[in-house]
Structure 1
Amino acid sequence: MGTWDIGHFDNDTAADFSGALDDAALAERAGLIRAALERAAEAVAYLDDYEGVHAVAAAALVAAQCPGGVPVTTAYGPDEPVPALPVELRELAVAALDRVVGEESELAELWDESESGAEWRRGIRELREVLAPTPPRAEEPLVEL
């Protein structure tokens, strides 16, 4: 896999995924994103880097449509519009990201062997936080003595 940076689309495989989305009819794009997430989330065996990269790119596209999400503006992301994605894809994207950073993931292993592994994982955590924000912690009530 040709990788030039830690961004979610900064590699040949993610750029190819973007190209496939651009080549698909508008009505088919959400299905391609769902399929990429499902392949990773539902993988029972070792997750190869190809599927992991697709899942991260798909999750980034879902997160871009969430409150607080960062638009995908890189030249390596899709050029064609991504339709409004179903809200239920957020949970699937979280499951896919959890699988991508798990123990049986080639992509996680490859990043962990690099100098940029911690920074890549931070980017994945940030995506995950947009997809499934942690609710604010309720403060304990004050008790008068």
Structure 2
Amino acid sequence: MGTWGTGSFENDDAADFMIDVLDSGDLSLIREVLDNVLTSTEYVEAPDAALAIVAAEIAAAALGRATLAAQQEDGLADWLARIRPTIDDDLRQQAVNALRRILAENSELRELWEDTEDFQNWKATVTDLEQQLHP
């Protein structure tokens, strides 16, 4: 995975996923990537985690709690205005739970970040995003 920063949208997987989301007309991709993380039996793969973080960013933005990164993401505000997605409590909780799995043991993305100087920054980004999703 090409990564150029600790932010949610600062990797190749996220960039590719955003293209797909902006071409979609509903939340099905968001639900799918969150489900992939939540149903992984033991180990959360890094690409699945990267997509789930973006899905959580989109959910937070749809709830009116967009992070600065989401506010700066090209096309997201227009997509939200066009689609007007409704984030029910179940989807919001799925996003929270997915982020918790990504931050926990048995997460490849966490392990990759632990091997860098930027681990604390990455962890803070994901933790802050999780806080945006709490009621």
Counterpart check, 1:12 vs 2:12? yes
Greater radius of gyration (CA): 1
Counterpart check, 1:34 vs 2:31? yes
- Change in CA separation of 1:80 and 1:69 when aligned onto 2, cut-off 3 Å: closer
C-alpha contact (below 8 Å) 2:22/2:75 kept by paired residues: no
Provide runs of 4+ in structure 1 moved above 4 Å: 75-80
Partner of 1:128: 130
| Matches of 1:63 and 1:111, distance apart in 2 | 23
| Matches of 2:5 and 2:74, distance apart in 1 | 12
Tell which deviates more after alignment, 58-67 or 7-16.
Answer: 58-67
TM-score, length-scaled by structure 1: 0.80
Give the alignment of 1:1-145 within 5 angstroms: 1-24=1-24, 26=25, 29-70=26-67, 72-75=70-73, 78=76, 81-82=79-80, 83=83, 84-88=85-89, 89-133=91-135
- Residue 43 of structure 1 and its aligned partner are, at CA, apart by 1.3
Secondary structure at the counterpart of residue 81 of structure 1:
helix
Q: Could you say what the CA RMSD is over the residues aligned between the two structures, in angstroms?
A: 1.9
* Structure holding more helix per residue: 2
User: Which amino acid in structure 2 is aligned with residue 49 of structure 1?
Assistant: A
- Residue 74 of structure 1 and its aligned partner are, at CA, apart by 3.5
| Matches of 2:75 and 2:3, distance apart in 1 | 14
Aligned length: 130
- Change in CA separation of 1:44 and 1:75 when aligned onto 2, cut-off 3 Å: same
Give the gaps of 5 or more residues in structure 2: none
Report the identity percentage: 33
C-alpha contact (below 8 Å) 2:63/2:87 kept by paired residues: no
- Residue 130 of structure 1 and its aligned partner are, at CA, apart by 1.1
- Change in CA separation of 1:77 and 1:38 when aligned onto 2, cut-off 3 Å: farther
